[in-house]
Structures are given as structure tokens and as C-alpha cells.
């Protein structure tokens, strides 16, 4: 069975600090996709990134970066110079082989960024 | 491009009743998935529809059902409501390819009294 663990339930930082959200996954599949979603208070899940199991290149998008390490089954997410607008719950998710429409989500990490 | 639209946003029902939630996907998207989000169980996959057929199913009882219409709009039905069905129900759509990311709606918050 697949499993995604986000051990950090809640993180509080002061604006401009860097913050890393951890994600560890378990799967027996050799082909899979990993995702990060952001859920602001409005409730909508906002897609941030998709990474396939064969691509271990790190990715940077503006203040966001992702570190995928297959050897440790981790897919961590770093926000550089955090801003108040980054406050949200962040979810890491794992797809089953052959479909991105059946996701196993972690329990989420609530990020609070204050002034 | 309009996003995923879910109606209604809020719903209050009593135990034993049934409810139907609606989801209009992004134009051109053929896959619609439903998820239940609760504080205790987190986000859990309910089912996915693609071209009017259920393509994947989660581990929920038969009281939870869905369907998809020819225009890709989807409805989810829950019968004989229980207190534990109180949750945020999220709908997501994607073009339908094997690993294309899903885009979510704002959800319907269902409260059971």
C-alpha cells in the first residue's frame, strides 16, 4: 500500500525566513508521480508541482524549490524568503501507477507566516 | 479559462437523508475525481470518472456513488447520511492523461446534524 508522511503538523516562521516542508513516501511501484498542493483558507487545492520517479533533478520556481531524493524516498519543499501570502496548508501526494487521478495524500503541514 | 466549479458551497442535512453534489470541470477536461476531506482522516479518494465511466474507486461504502454526464459534468450522491459524512468534498478535473495533474474546485462543505 502507498503511504505519504508529512511529520510536521504545523510550522510558524517570521516573514523572510526560509522554511522546508518534509515529505516521505512509501510505495512498491517503480513508476510513480509525486505532487505538492497548497490549500489556502478558501479550501481549494492549488497544484504546485509534479515530479516523476525517474527525474531526480531538483526544481526551482521563483521562491519555491523541490528536492526529490529517491534513495531516501523524500520529496521536500522549500520556500525561500517566506511571505504572509504563503500561509496555507501544504499537501504532498503520491499517485498510483498509470493514473494521477487517484492520489494518496499526506496529512498536510500548516504553515503560518507572520510579520 | 474557468476553473472547476462545485455547487453548492455549503449544505446542511440531517441523518438518514441523501444529498447530491455537483461538479463542473475545466472546459476540455474529461476526468473528474472526488475526494473527501475530514480533520480525522484527511484527504481520501472517493472515485474517478472518465468519459462517463467510473475508472477508479476508493475504499468507501456503497452509499457513496457518482456519475458523469456526456459534457463531463459530474455528480456525487451520498445516501442515508451519517454524522461521519460531515466533510469538505472536493472535486478535481484533469484532461485525462495518465499523469496529468488534477485541478481542484473550492469544495462543498457538508454538515450533518
Distance CA(A11)–CA(A87), nearest Å, equals 10
Cβ atoms of B75 and A11 within 8 Å: the answer is no
Distance CA(A26)–CA(B86), nearest Å, equals 29
- Chain A's closest residue to B103, CA to CA, is A47
pLDDT tens per residue across span A55-108:
877 788 899 999 999 999 999 999 999 999 999 999 999 998 777 678 999 999
In total, chain A counts a number of residues equal to 115
Contact residues on chain B for A98, CB-CB shorter than 8 A: 98
Helix or strand holding residue A112 (H, E): strand A109-114
pLDDT tens per residue across span A12-50:
999 999 999 999 999 998 888 999 999 998 888 999 998
Cβ atoms of B40 and B19 within 8 Å: the answer is no
Q: By percentage, how much of chain A surpasses pLDDT 90?
A: 70
Interface test with chain A among B51, B99, B106, by most A beta carbons within 10 Å: B99
CB atoms B102 and A103 under 8 Å = yes
Contact residues on chain B for A61, CB-CB shorter than 8 A: none
In total, chain B counts a number of residues equal to 113
* Mean pLDDT along residues B61-66: 97
Amino acid at each position: 500500500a502507498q503511504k505519504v508522511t508529512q511529520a510536521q503538523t504545523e510550522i510558524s516562521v517570521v516573514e523572510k525566513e526560509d522554511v522546508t516542508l518534509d515529505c516521505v513516501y512509501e510505495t512498491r511501484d517503480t513508476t510513480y508521480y509525486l505532487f505538492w498542493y497548497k490549500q489556502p483558507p478558501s479550501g481549494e487545492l492549488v497544484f504546485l508541482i509534479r515530479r516523476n520517479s525517474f527525474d531526480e533533478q531538483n526544481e526551482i520556481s521563483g521562491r519555491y524549490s523541490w528536492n526529490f531524493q529517491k534513495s531516501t524516498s523524500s520529496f521536500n519543499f522549500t520556500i525561500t524568503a517566506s511571505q504572509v501570502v504563503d500561509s496555507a496548508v501544504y499537501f504532498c501526494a503520491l499517485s498510483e501507477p498509470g493514473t494521477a487521478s487517484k492520489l494518496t495524500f499526506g496529512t498536510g503541514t500548516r504553515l503560518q507566516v507572520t510579520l | 479559462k474557468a476553473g472547476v466549479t462545485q455547487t453548492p458551497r455549503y449544505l446542511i442535512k440531517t441523518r438518514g437523508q441523501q444529498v447530491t453534489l455537483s461538479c463542473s470541470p475545466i472546459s476540455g477536461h474529461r476526468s473528474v475525481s472526488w475526494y473527501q476531506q475530514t480533520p480525522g482522516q484527511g484527504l481520501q479518494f472517493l472515485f474517478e470518472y472518465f468519459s462517463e465511466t467510473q475508472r477508479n474507486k476508493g475504499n468507501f461504502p456503497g452509499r457513496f456513488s457518482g456519475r458523469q454526464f456526456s459534457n463531463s459534468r459530474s455528480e456525487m450522491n451520498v445516501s442515508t447520511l451519517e454524522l461521519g459524512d460531515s466533510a469538505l468534498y472536493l472535486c478535481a478535473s484533469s484532461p485525462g492523461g495518465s499523469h496529468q495533474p488534477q485541478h481542484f474546485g473550492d469544495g462543498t462543505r457538508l454538515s450533518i446534524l
